[in-house]
């Protein structure tokens, strides 16, 4: 019997998606209509309720129209690998085709496995009425909603579904991974570094960004979720410990990872030089040698146009935090000479300035020199008497002749350094791709103490230092440190990490971490 034209007009049974997306019961309904011409005739011939046939055809037609497959998401096929790319997908939402293509290209070229964490959101303003989980067939094979240790010390937390509109997607999750790092699926990129005891590396919690396009309700919460929606992913690699970097895609789906640009449906290209590399707080006199060697390798490999430094002067030699016994120990080891620390700091800065344009952000440790000069009792320090009185006299001359109070470290460094550097004052701006990089992070809005949460609220993208703890809070990226991880005064559990922030040529940012003196290319 020929097929009834009414039903072939209503459903395009020639569409291969009808077969690909059909459940066995739905496929049976299609076969019956094709055989008998209509649900009514099929029901009578096979003694089947015709309404069941109609219902199954309606369910299948919705999936075909949207290109989705409805399924129960429990576990995916996570293959063993040394490198994973992890993102998330919102139900009832199509993936960004360009970004998916670029990610698949990245995985193919870097022997990486793509994992997509499913998340749920009910958008009451969407045209789709079915709130059930439905996932586009193009990403179905990558979906994994399980909790699993994918590499030693790193947990995939695919079983935790956080609303895409959540303001702080990591809230309340600090302990759920135990002593392991955790990756959570969310459309907003966030990162927190959790203190750990002893000499262990800190625990890092992070969210992924999304492979699906923005799809939110027309509400306050929805608009906030839309504003913070990031087309992105996290790269996680096995190593001595583990390494991670963030991917932030452009509107066409292309993205940069280190020195390579991945383009949808095209061959990769060499990425333009990064616009800036913001180092974790330098503390030159007490820098970590292995970290600095790795930083030099990063600079030689990526060739950033600018290098931005924070807390270049440690000022251990005469810092106001030093107690009597610390001062005695420094004197015994010959580390209590201020001029020698300034010269050593300038030598490290010259090595960096030889690689790229160098910017030195005014920071609280640099200002320890100002505080030392301000106290007249320090003029009695016989070891440092000459530098104290000469530098203080020079400051007084500038104030008298030019009517402003200079930065004493800048005065000294410009005489000692062989290379040029720009010193960025407290009231100056340093913007690259609209990202403000002149704030150290110790001073917040309206004179309050600074932190990443405060800088997220100022409405401008920022990169700060100060805490030695890498974080991402909304538009604020915070670098870690370049110092020794044990500075004696940081007693108790520590969240310090050798971590730096790169600003790629397309304006996107990512942390680059140095773990046990190593970084991953």
pLDDT in tens, 422-433: 999 999 999 999
Quick one: which H or E segment has residue 293? helix 289-302
User: Judging by DSSP bridges, how do beta strands 154-157 and 147-151 pair with one another?
Assistant: antiparallel
pLDDT digits (tens, 9 = 90+) for 256-313: 999 999 999 877 889 999 999 999 999 999 999 999 999 999 999 999 999 999 999 9
What length does the chain have?
521
What φ, ψ does residue 32 adopt, rounded to 5°?
A: -65, -40
Closest CA to 430 of 366, 501, 364, 362: 362
Percentage with pLDDT > 70 across the chain: 90
What φ, ψ does residue 217 adopt, rounded to 5°?
A: -75, 160
Closest CA to 504 of 146, 255, 321: 255
The pLDDT of residue 340 is 95
* Cα separation, 373 vs 363, whole angstroms: 16
Per the structure block, which two tokens stand in for 162? 């956080």
What DSSP character marks residue 211?
S
Domain ranges of the chain: 5-66, 83-270, 276-513
Orientation of helix 39-46 relative to helix 24-36, angle to 10°: 100
Segments of the chain with pLDDT less than 50:
1-4, 67-74, 129-132
Opening angle at CA 184, ends 183 and 188, nearest 5:
115
Per the structure block, which two tokens stand in for 277? 């590399």
The pLDDT of residue 313 is 95
Instruction: Note the CATH architecture for domain 276-513.
Output: 4-Layer Sandwich (3.60)
Per the structure block, which two tokens stand in for 518? 């190593």
What φ, ψ does residue 442 adopt, rounded to 5°?
A: -80, -30
Closest CA to 169 of 144, 146, 194, 186: 186
The pLDDT of residue 64 is 65
Per the structure block, which two tokens stand in for 382? 């016989």
pLDDT digits (tens, 9 = 90+) for 357-402: 999 999 999 999 999 999 999 889 899 999 999 999 999 999 999 9
What residues contact 151, with CB distance under 8 A and at least 6 apart? 82, 84, 236, 237, 238, 242
Cross-strand bridge partners of residue 248: 232
The pLDDT of residue 293 is 95
Orientation of helix 338-353 relative to helix 385-402, angle to 10°: 60
What does each C-alpha distance from 391 to 45, 228, 319, 342, 369 come to in angstroms? 103, 48, 16, 12, 10
Per the structure block, which two tokens stand in for 324? 């009597």
* Cα separation, 90 vs 205, whole angstroms: 20
Q: Cβ of 429: how many Cβ atoms within 10 Å?
A: 11
What φ, ψ does residue 412 adopt, rounded to 5°?
A: -70, -45
The pLDDT of residue 5 is 52
Per the structure block, which two tokens stand in for 394? 């020079």
* Cα separation, 442 vs 9, whole angstroms: 68
* Cα separation, 188 vs 319, whole angstroms: 41
Cβ pair 508, 245 in contact under 8 A: no
* Cα separation, 185 vs 158, whole angstroms: 7
């Amino acid at each position: 019997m020929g097929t009834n034209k009414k039903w072939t007009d209503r459903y395009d049974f020639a569409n291969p998606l009808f077969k690909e997306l059909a459940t066995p019961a739905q496929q049976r309904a299609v076969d019956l209509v094709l055989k008998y011409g209509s649900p009514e005739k099929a029901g009578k011939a096979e003694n089947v309720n015709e309404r069941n046939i109609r219902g199954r055809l309606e369910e299948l037609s919705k999936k075909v129209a949207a290109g989705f497959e409805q399924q129960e998401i429990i576990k995916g096929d996570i293959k063993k690998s040394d490198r994973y790319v992890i993102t998330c997908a919102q139900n009832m939402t199509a993936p960004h085709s360009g970004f998916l293509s670029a990610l698949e290209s990245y995985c193919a070229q870097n022997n990486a496995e793509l994992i997509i964490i499913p998340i749920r959101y009910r958008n009451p303003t969407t045209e789709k009425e079915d709130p059930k989980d439905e996932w586009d067939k193009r990403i179905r094979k990558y979906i994994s909603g399980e909790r699993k240790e994918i590499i030693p010390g790193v947990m995939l937390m695919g079983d935790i579904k956080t609303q895409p509109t959540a303001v702080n997607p990591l809230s309340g999750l600090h302990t759920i991974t135990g002593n392991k790092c955790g990756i959570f699926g969310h459309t907003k990129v966030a990162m927190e570094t959790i203190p750990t005891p002893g000499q262990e590396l800190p625990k890092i919690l992070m969210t992924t960004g999304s492979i699906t396009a923005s799809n939110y309700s027309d509400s306050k919460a929805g608009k906030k979720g839309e504003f913070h929606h990031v087309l992105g992913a996290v790269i996680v690699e096995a190593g001595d410990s583990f390494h991670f970097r963030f991917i932030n895609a452009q509107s066409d789906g292309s993205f940069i990872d280190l020195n390579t640009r991945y383009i949808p449906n095209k061959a990769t290209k060499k990425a333009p030089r990064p616009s800036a590399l913001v180092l974790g707080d330098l503390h030159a006199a007490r820098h970590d040698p292995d970290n600095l060697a790795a930083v030099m390798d990063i600079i030689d490999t990526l060739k950033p146009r600018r290098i931005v430094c924070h807390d270049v002067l440690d000022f251990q030699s005469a810092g106001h935090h030093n107690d009597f016994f610390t001062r005695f120990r420094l004197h015994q080891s010959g580390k209590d000479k201020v001029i020698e620390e300034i010269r050593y700091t300038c030598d490290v800065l010259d090595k960096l300035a030889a690689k790229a344009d160098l910017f030195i952000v005014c920071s609280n440790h640099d200002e320890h020199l100002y505080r030392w000069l301000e106290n007249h009792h320090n003029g009695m320090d016989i070891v440092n008497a000459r530098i104290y009185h000469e530098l203080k006299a020079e400051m007084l001359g500038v104030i008298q002749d030019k009517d402003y109070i200079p930065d004493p470290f800048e005065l000294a460094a410009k005489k000692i350094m062989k290379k040029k550097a720009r010193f960025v004052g407290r009231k100056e701006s340093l913007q690259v791709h609209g990202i403000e990089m002149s704030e150290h992070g110790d001073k917040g809005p309206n004179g309050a103490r600074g932190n990443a949460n405060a800088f997220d609220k100022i409405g401008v993208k920022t990169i700060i230092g100060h805490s030695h703890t890498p974080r991402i809070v909304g538009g604020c990226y915070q670098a870690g440190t370049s110092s020794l991880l044990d500075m004696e005064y940081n007693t108790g559990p520590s969240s310090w990490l050798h971590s730096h922030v790169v600003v790629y040529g397309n304006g996107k940012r990512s942390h680059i971490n140095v773990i046990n003196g190593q970084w991953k290319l």
